[in-house]
Structure formats: C-alpha cells, structure tokens
Amino acid sequence: MDIENEICPVISQGKMMGRRHFLKSLVVAGITGLIGSYPIFIERYLVQINRYRIPVPRLPHQFQGLTIVHLTDLHYGFLVPLFFLEGVIRKANSLKKDLIVCTGDYVQGRGSVEGIDRIWPVLSELKAPMGVYSVLGNHDHWADFSRSAYWLQRSGQNLRHRIHYFEREGKRLWIAGCGDLWEDHRSVEEILKDVPPEDYRIVLAHNPDTADTDFSQRIDLMICGHTHGGQVNIPFYGSPVLPVKNKNYSFGLKESRRGQPVFISKGIGWAVYPVRFNCFPEIAVLELTNSV
C-alpha cells in the first residue's frame, strides 16, 4: 500500500496532467460555447417587465397615473416559438394596467400567411379594462398585408389610420394609430385632423422616424417599436445597428426633432440578426404622470 502510494503519483502524473489539461480545455470550451450561445439561445428568452414613469405635463389630472402595457415586435417565426409568445401574452394580461397597445411586426419574414394565422388568435387573447389597440409594422405588410389587416380588424384591436377617445369628467384623451412608415404611411396631420387641439393625444406608430415626418399637429406622446433596442447594446458604444434614420431613436423615452416625447420599446423578437446582447426583450409598462 505504501509502495502504491509512493509510486502512483509518479506513474499517474502524466495521466493526471493529461486529465487536468482535458478538464481545463473542457471548461474553456464550455465557457466559450456558453458565451457564444448566450446571445442566441439565452438572453433572447429572458423577457423583462420594465416600468417607465412618463412625465407629460399636459396630461389632464383625470388621467393621472394612466397605465399602458406596450407590446411590439413579437416576430413570431424562427427562434421565436408560439409557446414563448403565448407566455408573453399571458404575462401582459396578468399585469395591472388600463389599456394595452401593440405597435406591429407580429410575424417574421415575407409571405408568412401561416404565421399570421397562428399568431393573431394568440394576440386576440389580450385583454385590458380600457381596451387593446394595435397597428401594423413593415413585417406584417411583407408577410401579407391583406391577411394582417383581416386579423387586425377581426381582433377588435384595429387602430390603423384611426382615432379613439376616452372621457373622464368631461376631459378627453385621444389615441391615434399611424400606418407603417415604410409600407403604409399616412400623414399624421390627416390622422389627427378631427382631434380638438386642446385635447391630449397619444399616437401609436411602428417606426419612430414617423415622429420626424412633415406635420404640424401636436403629439403629447408617441409610442413606437421597430428598433428592438438595436438588439446588441455595447457598453460605452451603444447599438451598432439601428434600422432608423434618426439614430437617437434606440429605446426608452426620447425627444423628437420638434421636441415631442417618443417612447421606443426594445420589443420581444428579432429581425436583422437573431441575437440579443445586453438588450433584453421587454414588456413595457408606461405610467403617465403630469408631474416632472
């Protein structure tokens, strides 16, 4: 036994060194694989509930604390399975809110009629006390506009090129829906022409560049998607890819070139590349306040 104890370390040293090298290589490979797969297979499914307090000085006190759940850019399709999105819808329904707004790109890819017919019954399950209001994005047009428009209307959520108001104690808050800037743009001027100038206005638009188009109407808050927050957010640098002209429109509360507030959600799915890094998908919960 003593001999074995003395000999074994000498005889097995090469094996031990080989084993250690193998285990070290295995750990390094595992870490490398984890780092490499994290943006594709992990972060993209870690949906955050992000709450934003949005200061809007013109908000009537009757609507103080109005809470809006915002969903956008679900991109049902490759790497964004239906069961995952069903969970997102259930979570949105469980949150305390007054209304839900959706700002487009519910499917991924072109010619995806089957995808449209699968995701919209799920979207139709959204419920809120003051209703659910939705517009379309560029991918909904690319997949099949007529089918997307059919489901938008059938769901009872259609706000595309429409306006709707809520009234409390004689004060009105209007919500309006723009078409997609790339595929279905209609002037904000035209959409808001019947809204009294003194009333508060929220505008839904898929693409935040809509805020910089030519119009003179006042917008108290525009709610958008489209950018996905850039999907990759590099510390001290930002997002290398943003599919907008105005590169200030990444995510969160921004200010348009005419000084109007624009909120942009990071959304749920992907479009340009199938990764998320330091840019978690989100369900945004907006609480409106008339105090700064």
Q: Which residue has the tokens 């805020």?
A: 211
Strand partners, 172: 167
**Closest by alpha carbon to 269, among 259, 255, 283?**
283
pLDDT tens-digit readout, 15-61 = 444 555 544 444 434 434 434 557 566 787 899 999 999 999 899 99
pLDDT tens, position by position, 84-117: 999 999 999 999 999 999 999 999 977 789 999 9
Q: What is the mean pLDDT of the chain?
A: 88
pLDDT at residue 272 in the model: 82
Which residues 6+ apart lie within 8 Å of 245 measured at CB? 209, 212
Is residue 10's pLDDT more than 60? no
Residue 13 has pLDDT above 50, yes or no: no
CA distances from 89 to 83, 122, 146, 270 (A): 10, 7, 24, 17
CB 63 within 8 A of CB 292: no
Q: Quote the CA–CA distance of 79 and 123 in Å, as a whole number.
A: 18
Average pLDDT over residues 140-163: 97
